[in-house]
Structure 1
Amino acid sequence: MEVYTVTVATGTSEYSGTNNYVFVTLVGEGGESERTLLDNPGLDLCRGAVDQYKVTSRSPLGSLLLVRLEKQRYWVEDNWFCRYVTVELPGEDKVTFPCYRWLVGDVKVEIRAGMAKTLRDESLSQLLVHRKTELLERQNTYRWAKWAPGIPRCIDAKTEADLPQDARFENEKRSDFEHSLQYALLELSLKKLSISFGKSWNDLDDFKRIFWKLRSPISEYCMEHWKEDWFFGYQCLNGCNPRMIQMCRRLPENFPVTSDMVQSSMAPGTNLDKELKAGKIYLLDYAIMDGIPANIIKGKPQYIAAPLCLLYQHPDKGLIPVAIQLAQNPDLTSPIFLPRDPPLAWLLAKMWVRHAEFQVFQLLSHLLRTHLVIEVFCVATLRQLPAVHPIYKLMAPHLRYTLEINCRGRTQLISPDGIFKKVVSTGGDGLLILAQREYKVLTYRSLQPHKDFIDRGVSHLPEYFYKEHSLMLWEAIHSFVTGVVDLFYQSDHDVQEDLELQAWFTDISQEGFAELPSFGLPSKISSREELSTLLAVAIFTSTVQHAATNNGQFDWCAWIPNTPCSMRQPPPTDKDAVTMDMIMATLPDVSQSCMQMAITWHLGRPQPDAIPLGQNMEEHFTESRALELISEFRKELKGIQDNILSQNEGLELQYLFLLPSRIENSITI
């Protein structure tokens, strides 16, 4: 008679425990153990519990292959979340079987030991069958769907309720998410204001009426400095959309700025031509906004512009705007606005640029280039890689909650009756057309930060903290991922021959990113370096890039005039005709302002159950070398954290969005 000590760990979130019957059976090369009830229903397997049991076998089992868990209803149905199971014989090493799954209903699951294995490492037919069965079940559960043409494909779920339990928010997360927006409205005392649809604010200071309760140091700084040209330029580098700016070596033909127009903005002894050649002129070009249909909110038309904005790296003043055109086609109705123009005209022109920035930041840099891109990796990973696969183990911590937050985004934020339709100028048809345009030009290369900075010509821009921090984090992530890949793949041939890995890549490139022939992915993964780069892109995008665009949205958008969600009057055609009344009639009304402030706080605030980058709660790897690589990665992140904090010491306006401790390990909001 063999006696095994079995330890069973229950999840720590609310309702993870169960009072149902749970049975365990150990499966080894030599046979199976007794089917053993984990007794004391209602007493064991409680939330956070780590319970120990004795499981017997009439004969030695040999090498353990699987742990079979069965849950059966006792009185009422009660789901259970199992973190892991460990098994040990007296005098032998403990074997860990990671689970991290919900057992829903009367169900039977079999879990593998934690040692990662690719398909070529598998020799036992029983384990090969287990891999195949697991993937067939997952492919039946996680299916591809097309939410709309011309954008990345997504999970087949009309709402978050259609997702399997393993992809859902934990109860605490769900409760917090569903109540925080209402909390914001209540805290801002907006319930009374929010019924004031169509009512303009009286003056710019009037926006402070919704700015008194929820605030942040940066949002307050923004309120004080938003009119200043240097602050406008700073946001192009370190605001919520820091990837729009590009070097301008030659002026676009549709932007006829002359040297005389901007001479007064230049440093003494230079001119526009010299600074163009010196690489000191930069451009924001919102051509992608041209012709986008504007929203109609409660019968009131909204307005959209497609600005061009020229910026100059002044030796003393920093990056400053020097010319703005609010349309792509210059004519008498689209003058070029200059800093020397009447102050209100120049201010309104900058507001129009920032309004375009709101649309591009929210829908393209944030939604499309992080949320929707990563959903492709999520679905492909769940469909094509078994839990024992090393790449599944690497990716799993970066998939947490992403499918549910994306489902909620499609149903609550960008749906025909969602928040964007109610308050944003691109709500309705516009947002989809905008996303489709960006998707057509989306490239794999642009998702790699070191290449993106080179392509945009911004590698030498000073005080571009987003760039500096991104590159440090990219190198750390790429180094960590390369270590993991090299640990489990001894050669490029091993990568090429991994059929599960190649199926995963095919799902990404041909299913998820279908309709995108110019994306730039190869036909297959041919080397360890290609695999490492692809994985680094996925992890960087789901962590660093998402934090860069998401985490500051309240800071930069809470002061509505700085980044308005909509404009209620058309762009000005006469510089001398701009008045404060015109500005107030153009900016979002009271109701729109209330919702913009509430939603950006709701989506941009630190999440109460956030897991920081690298601090994985689920321990999928058990190999000592893999655990060492994780430890080394955490040490490198700690060094980056210290570096960023040191760099920000004494700065009046600090850039802390990419502190590793503030970067979530996955897209959860």
Structure 2
Amino acid sequence: MGSGISKASYNITVKTGDQKGSGTDANVYIILHGKGLQTKECTLDNFFKNDFERGEIDKFSIDSEVNISEVQRIELRRDNCGLYSNWYLDWIEVTNKKNSITFVFPAMKWIKANGRYFFNHDTCLPQDDLFLETRKLELRAIQAEYQLQVQIPGLPAQVKKLPEDEKFSFHYKVNFALEGIKLKAESFKLMMTNQNKWEDVEDVKTVYTKAFGVPESSEYFNDDAQFGRQRLSSLNSLLIELCTTIPQNFGVTEDMIKPFLEGKTMKQVMDGKKLFIINLSILEDCPTKREDLVMTCPLILFYFNDSKHLMPIAIQLFQQKGPRNPVFLPSDPKYTWMLAKMWYSLADSTYHQSLTHLNYTHLMMEGISVATKRNLALQHPILKLLDPHFLYLMAINSLALVALINPDGIIDKNSNAGIKGHFHIMRKSMSFWKLDLHGTLPEDLKNRGVFDQSVLTGAYHMRDDALLLYDAIKTYVEKYVLLYYSTDSSLTADYELQSWGAELVKSRDDGGVGILGVPGNGNFKTTNQLVLTLTAIIYTCSAGHAAANFQQYDEYGAPFNYPYYLSGVPPKDKSPVTIATILKTIPNRDVLLQMMIVTKVLSEKATKSLGDFEKQFIVDPKAVKVVEEFRQTLRQVGKTIESRNKKREYPYDWLLPKAIPNAISI
């Protein structure tokens, strides 16, 4: 399209964000730029109208001596006039009235007084940018605002100070607060009308009022098949491993478990890939909140029976075998076996909260998001691809630091491990967690011997549905990456991308993110290395976090099935246990209600579904087509999962694409 000089008119559409205080009374000025052309500065103003109010869309018309048929960038500034001058801009659209072509300029940022802001319509690599000097200046300003810092010693790098552009929208914040207030009021009422100790098993159910709802897991009591399903289709479904040999420190023998193998030998069940193990040795030496609280570090064996149910068949609660650390079996006294399962679940929930949920999604991804903003300019295709998946991540983590994961905060008060124990486990994991293994679903499954569909057939719902999503994301990323990197040389010439990769792997001691297992060690030489990295990030921020998060109320709300806090001591022998002991062991009414409030709020989905992006930075027509293909694939994935659920004995809805947000925003 050529550009010529003749009178022209442009329609300008402006969307102001809904952040608190995002509307402005200031004067706003715009300049349009094309190939070698620019308009004079024009004021955006409608007479007798209060423009730029929070959450509103305003339309303006401007005339110019210059006809720019292809508007490539806009230049924007505002003054400091008016009582309320802060302004958060979502996006601007410019339409040349002569050719009716519309150009979209995503912004998603606060526009400060007297600064000059440039927004490009084009998506381009730095080596191809016609406005390179401006691009470099903008990136330097962003780097000053987005700084990496290890906030908690030994843990992942986070943002040093929450930038204004990362704060919650007003709408999101209000919904979040109202939900918490409603549940706190309900919980206070329950505490005032009931005593703290439990009378019997039925008494526990009295906390499930209308405001909270009944947690799914509470419908089961001392049910071995349900206990097995928790390992395959619940919050912590990436621990189970194929068992090919019994560890030396696990005191289980063939004679002990033979009654539970449906007439088969141990060799037969191992050869048939029907024996599974979870070893939570990482919890050994885990500190607890108080001296009278205990943390287990168990080993557990499962048998996948002929009815396709995963059944627990042996539990050892501590790593060193011995007479005071017996192997508990389903044939033990009823409540002794139940107590052993509860003490196993305490370790499982502690691992889930500290690693699966907090460390491997929230904190690991925050460091990556900060490095992305610091190194990739707004025009960069990879920034546009990743940014929707970082929505509110820094904001929710900074909120968690003051409300959840702080001394005397909710986690500290209502878990056996407390903050000290959680941080201890998280620090341990930093030495071995790798993006290309633990952060890459197929590799993680292969590493545990459970990738093949012939293993745990028809029962491992989380794996089966998650692989559909992983493949959909990988295909989307591949198509998108190849639009901009047609050759490997364009990849190596992209110095912004290479500096991003370098910062991802740079040691946290030296100011980097310190991620292990980044393909090519962050020096991307092939598109395949880049695709694997981006797929791991997008999958973790969307499906990975959803699987670890949204079932929290359904599990943690059921203290017999998924306790996070237990009193007393684990059983040291096989003496019969009474139900009275079980009731004294589970959290009391106050602790359970605290856990129910936080997990209920954390289980609410408050943002848009995967593929339906809140922050729509992708405006390049070729890339928009790739996004639409991704959405079509996700719709197909949704239909496949719905059809699977009709045939499943126990449906699994947690990875339906419509149930998965784009980002870790809660």
What TM-score do the two structures reach when normalised by structure 2? Answer: 0.93
Question: Equivalent residue of 1:630, what SS?
Answer: helix
One-letter identity of the residue aligned with 2:591: Q
- Confirm or deny that 1:213 pairs with 2:210: yes
Q: Which amino acid aligns with 2:251?
A: P
Q: Which residue of 2 aligns with 1:537?
A: 536
**Distance in 1, Cα, partners of 2:560 & 2:315:** 17
- The code of the aligned residue for 1:152 comes to P
| Corresponding position: 1:618 with 2:646 | no
Alignment RMSD: 2.3
The one-character-per-residue Cα deviations of 1:588-614 (angstroms, maximum 9, x if unpaired) are 12211111111111111222xx11000
Q: Judge which range, 183-192 or 393-402, deviates more.
A: 183-192
In 2, Cα distance between equivalents of 1:515 and 1:500? 18
Structure 2: stretches of 5+ with no match in the other structure: 1-5
CA shift for structure 1 position 41: 7.1
CA deviations 1:521-557 (Å, max 9, x no partner) are: 5241111111111111100000000000101111112
Q: Mapping of 1:145-544 within 5 angstroms?
A: 145-157=149-161, 163-188=162-187, 192=191, 199-214=196-211, 219-220=215-216, 222-268=217-263, 270-296=264-290, 301-316=292-307, 318-444=309-435, 445-459=437-451, 460-462=455-457, 463-510=459-506, 514=513, 522-544=521-543
CA distance in 2, matches of 1:370, 1:539: 11
Name the CA distance, whole Å, in 1 between partners of 2:488 and 2:540. Answer: 25
Residue 649 (structure 1) aligned with residue 646 (structure 2) = yes
Could you tell me whether the CA contact under 8 Å between 2:519 and 2:530 is conserved in 1?
Answer: no
Q: CA separation of 1:141/1:490 partners in 2, compared to 1, >3 Å: closer, same or farther?
A: same
Counterparts of 2:79 and 2:69 in 1: how far apart (Å)?
28
Q: Give the Cα–Cα distance (whole angstroms) in 2 for the partners of residues 52 and 212 of structure 1.
A: 48
Q: Does 1:132 find its partner at 2:136?
A: yes
1-structure distance, mates of 2:102, 2:499? 30
* Residue pair 2:95, 2:103 contacting (<8 A) in 1 also: no
Count the aligned residue pairs. Answer: 651
The residue identity in structure 1 corresponding to 2:473 is I
Q: Percent identity?
A: 28
What's the CA shift for 1:21?
1.6
AA paired with 2:31? T
For residues 239-288 of structure 1, the C-alpha deviation after alignment (integer angstroms, 9 at most, x for no partner) is 110001111100010112111111111112x1223212322110111111
What secondary structure does 1:52 align onto? Answer: strand
User: Which stretch has the larger CA shift, 236-245 or 225-234?
Assistant: 225-234
Residue 72 of structure 1: how far off its partner (Å): 2.1
Shift of residue 461, structure 1, vs aligned partner: 1.3
Q: Alignment partner of 2:564: what SS? A: coil
Q: Does 1:631 align with 2:623?
A: no
Distance 1:59 1:7 in 2: 15
- Say if 1:515 and 1:491 are closer, same or farther in 2 by CA, change over 3 A: closer
Give 3-state SS (helix, strand or coil) of 1:578's partner: coil
- Describe the SS at the equivalent of 1:469: helix
SS of the residue corresponding to residue 300 of structure 2 reads strand
Q: Does 1:595 align with 2:594?
A: yes
Q: Which residue of 1 aligns with 2:78?
A: 71
How many Å separate the matches in 2 of 1:194 and 1:546?
37
Note the C-alpha offset of 1:78. 3.6
The CA deviation at 1:494 is: 0.9
Counterpart residue number, 1:101: 108
Partner letter of residue 257 of structure 1? V
8 Å contact 1:144–1:511 — kept in the other structure?
A: no
Which residue is equivalent to 2:59? 52
Evaluate the alpha carbon distance shift between residue 25 and residue 580 of structure 1 in structure 2; reply closer, same or farther with a 3 A threshold: same
Are the aligned partners of 2:124 and 2:380 in contact in 1 as well (CA < 8 Å)?
yes
> How much does 1:64 deviate?
4.2
Q: Does 1:24 align with 2:30?
A: yes
Aligned pair 1:668/2:660, yes or no? no
Choose the corresponding residue for 2:8, options 3, 6, 14: 3
- Residue 521 of structure 2: SS of its match in structure 1? coil
Q: Which amino acid aligns with 1:290?
A: E
- Structure 1 unaligned regions, length at least 5: 158-162
Q: Distance in 2 between matches of 1:522 and 1:102?
A: 32
CA contact (8 A) 2:241 2:277 kept: yes
What is the rounded CA distance, in whole Å, between the counterparts of 2:283 and 2:112 in structure 1? Answer: 49
For residues 608 and 358 of structure 2, the distance between their equivalents in structure 1, rounded to whole angstroms, comes to 21
State the match for 1:160 in structure 2. Answer: none
The one-letter code sitting in structure 1 at the alignment partner of 2:613 is: N
In 1, Cα distance between equivalents of 2:474 and 2:542? 13
What is the CA–CA distance in structure 2 between the aligned matches of 1:438 and 1:593, rounded to whole Å?
28
Distance 1:14 1:668 in 2: 15
Change (3 A) 1:136 1:106: same
SS at match of 2:418: coil
CA spacing shift, 1:349–1:521, aligned 2, 3 Å: farther
Q: Following the alignment from structure 2 to structure 1, what is the Cα–Cα distance between the partners of residues 414 and 192?
A: 14
Q: Specify the SS of the correspondent of 1:446.
A: coil
* TM-score, with length taken from structure 1: 0.92
What one-letter code is carried by the residue in structure 2 that aligns with 1:396?
D
4+ residue stretches of structure 1 with deviation over 6 A?
A: none
SS in 2 for 1:562: coil
Aligned CA distance change for structure 1 residues 521 and 551 (closer, same or farther; 3 Å): farther
Given that residues 234 and 319 in structure 1 are in contact (C-alpha distance below 8 angstroms), is that contact kept between their aligned partners in structure 2? Answer: yes
For 1:34, the equivalent position in structure 2 comes to 40
Q: Distance in 1 between matches of 2:157 and 2:17?
A: 33
